[in-house]
Structure 1
Amino acid sequence: MIAETVCSAVSVAGLGIAVVTAYRRRFLAAARVAAYSLVPIGLVMTGIVGWLADTAFSPTAWAGFGVLGAAWLLFAGTRAVERRRGGGDSGAGTGRGAARRAGREAVAPAASAPSLGQAGRAAARPSAAPRASEPAEDFSDIEAILKKHGI
């Protein structure tokens, strides 16, 4: 009952401010203030304010919020531990953890190629030639986009 009275008073005060603003010939601002001031009375009329007031003073509702908070903490904690470990609880080797490990194994031989010496560098040079043409293609695409926009 008190929450409804407060919301009604806020709405009336806001409408008063809107009238004064309109009197000063600032109609756009007056319309905006009137729109904001109608929100609290609209919430009262729909019953949301009563529901919120009942929820705010209900110990059961606060206990429910506590349970939801604990669940969120559990989710966040397990996610942080999973990220720190670098995988998941995939006991049989299935799932995202196995896919990540397989991806790492595939990348590892190519990552160590530069440290092989001259033989590794000679093998890496033929693949370096196509890479030189790729940035030119990327820059031509960017250049076409910039020309399209007149830059």
Structure 2
Amino acid sequence: MIAETVCAAVSAAGLGLAAITAYRKRFLRATRIAAYALVPIGLVMTGVVEWAADTAFSPTAWAGFGVLGAAWFLFMTTRAVERRRGDTGKDRKAAKASRSEAIAPAASAPSLGGSARPAGRPTTGSRPTSPGASAADDFSDIEAILKKHGI
């Protein structure tokens, strides 16, 4: 009885707040407040509040919540152990090997190679002296990367 009265009061206050918000020309917000305000009275009308009040004071219901909590705890514990242990050792090794492989293993190597530039000559730019040979090498690296990604 008290729970139904409280829900009706909350709904009335929410509808009043929605009316004030609509008066301030904020219709979208007022509609949303009205929707939230109608939820408690709808729960009273469907009987959910009476059921919840009966459940709140029932020792059997609280024991049932305890059993559900224990089941949830066991389920989460087994999931944590399963994640920590992994399915099998082979799967774990395969996953570790696939993670350690580089995405583009040759990408760290310079595209010009070590002998493309004479050692005694100062570097004046990124272009070598023979543009025909090195340009093909540069584009072959790019083509390899694009082919690897399916482009």
Contact 2:10 2:40 in 1 (8 A): yes
Residue-by-residue CA offset, 1:75-132 (whole Å, 9 max, x unaligned):
2223333333334xxxxxxxxx4xx637847x97xx8xxxxxxxxxxxxxxxxxxx98
Match of 1:136 in 2: 146
Provide the rounded CA distance (Å) in 1 between the counterparts of 2:83 and 2:4: 48
CA RMSD of aligned residues (A): 3.4
Flag the structure with more relative contact order, 1 or 2, with Cα contacts below 8 A and sequence separation at least 6.
2
Summarize the Cα distance change of 1:40–1:102 in structure 2 as closer, same or farther, 3 Å threshold.
Answer: closer
Listed as ranges, the gaps of 5+ residues in structure 1 are: 88-96, 112-130, 142-151
More helix by share: 1
The one-letter code matched in structure 2 to 1:66 is G
Give the length in aligned residue pairs.
110
Listed as ranges, the gaps of 5+ residues in structure 2 are: 101-140
The one-letter code matched in structure 2 to 1:135 is I
Provide TM-score, normalisation by structure 1: 0.56
The one-letter code matched in structure 1 to 2:58 is S
1:86 matched to 2:86? The reply is yes
Provide the rounded CA distance (Å) in 1 between the counterparts of 2:23 and 2:8: 23
Provide TM-score, normalisation by structure 2: 0.56
The DSSP-based 3-state class of the residue aligned with 1:12 is helix
Provide the rounded CA distance (Å) in 2 between the counterparts of 1:23 and 1:9: 21
Larger Rg: 2
